[in-house]
């Protein structure tokens, strides 16, 4: 069979799944933005999963390239809020009933991304009923995060990362560690001796920076569309999203900037 552009990308199947549940004009916009975001998140998971494996294998150059790619993907996700923000409150109100109790809070790929990067809360799995989703997220919680693997790499390079940060319950968030901050200070204080670790640190900061911009864009888009109404999934809406923006992934990499 001859492979064509349409058949290779499976365009008939792909373009058939944008199926609004109402005749409201803007619902196609809402569906398209969220489906496209899920595709980008799928690619982020693909790249960060391999980057984590490369870091664990002391193979940093490919990992750095993959992390840089994810930051560019995140820029696309951030820009998507600009498109969605063209939906006015009246436009959204006209189609909101079609959503039922569905919510972006129920995106298992977004939750997995947070888990991969290290923002972990086992209670978040309770949102999902599907056994395969619960199993995948539970498996991620049992696996060292991207940041955990970065700290293990620092230890292998001779930096004094505390033992309790190398072998711990990976399903939990470890509190900020002055000792870990000191390790990063050593890297930043002598980049010529630790150039690849220095680059790794900056790639991690890039990831956090872009995630926070995405979170803030989400908050402002929701605020613009529904104000301070409760979210469709039952969350507090804007106040909940504001708390999410305060969550950090790599606290020592941000704290070290004050001590340098």
Residue 79 tokens, joined = 């820009």
The answer to whether the annotation marks 83 as part of a ligand binding site is: no
| CA max distance for the chain | 62
The answer to whether the annotation marks 218 as part of a ligand binding site is: yes
The answer to whether the annotation marks 86 as part of a ligand binding site is: no
The answer to whether the annotation marks 209 as part of a ligand binding site is: no
The answer to whether the annotation marks 53 as part of a ligand binding site is: no
The answer to whether the annotation marks 96 as part of a ligand binding site is: yes
3-state secondary structure the chain: CCCCHHHHCCHHHHHCCCCCCCCCCCHHHHHHHHHHHHHHHHHHHHHHHHHHHHHHCCCHHHHHHHHHHHHHHHHHHHHHHHHHCCCCHHHHHHHHHHHCCCCHHHCHHHHHHHHHHCCCCHHHHHHCCCHHHHHHHHHHHCCCCHHHHHHHHHHHCCCCCCHHHCCCCCCCCCCCCHHHHHHHHHHHHCCCCCHHHHHHHHHHHHHHHHHHHHHHHHHHHHHHHHCCCCCCCCCCCHHHHHHHHCCCCCHHHHHHHHHC
The answer to whether the annotation marks 25 as part of a ligand binding site is: no
- Residue count (the chain): 260
The answer to whether the annotation marks 34 as part of a ligand binding site is: yes
The answer to whether the annotation marks 232 as part of a ligand binding site is: yes
Residues of the binding site for heme: 218
**Binding site for substrate: which residues?**
30-34, 92, 96, 232
- Mark the binding-site residues, compressed into ranges: 30-34, 92, 96, 218, 232
């Amino acid at each position: 069979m001859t492979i064509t552009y349409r058949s290779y990308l499976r365009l008939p199947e792909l373009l058939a799944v944008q199926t609004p549940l109402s005749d409201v004009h803007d619902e196609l916009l809402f569906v398209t933005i969220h489906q496209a975001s899920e595709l980008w998140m799928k690619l982020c998971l693909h790249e960060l999963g391999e980057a984590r494996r490369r870091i664990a294998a002391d193979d940093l150059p490919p990992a750095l390239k993959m992390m840089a790619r994810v930051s560019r993907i995140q820029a696309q996700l951030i820009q998507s809020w600009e498109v969605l923000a063209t939906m006015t409150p009246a436009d959204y109100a006209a189609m909101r009933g079609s959503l039922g109790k569905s919510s972006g809070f129920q995106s298992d790929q977004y939750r997995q991304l947070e888990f991969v990067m290290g923002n972990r809360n086992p209670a978040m799995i309770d949102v999902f009923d599907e056994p395969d989703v619960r199993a995948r997220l539970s498996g991620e919680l049992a696996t060292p995060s991207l940041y955990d693997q970065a700290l293990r790499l620092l230890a292998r390079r001779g930096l004094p990362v505390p033992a309790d940060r190398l072998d711990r319950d990976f399903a939990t968030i470890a509190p900020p560690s002055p000792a870990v901050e000191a390790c990063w200070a050593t890297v930043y204080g002598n980049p010529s001796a630790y150039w690849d670790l220095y680059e790794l640190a900056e790639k991690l900061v890039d990831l956090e920076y872009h995630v926070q911009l995405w979170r803030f864009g989400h908050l402002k888009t929701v605020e613009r569309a529904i104000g301070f109404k409760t979210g469709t999934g039952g969350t507090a809406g804007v106040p909940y999203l504001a708390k999410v923006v305060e969550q950090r992934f790599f606290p020592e990499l941000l704290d070290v900037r004050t001590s340098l």
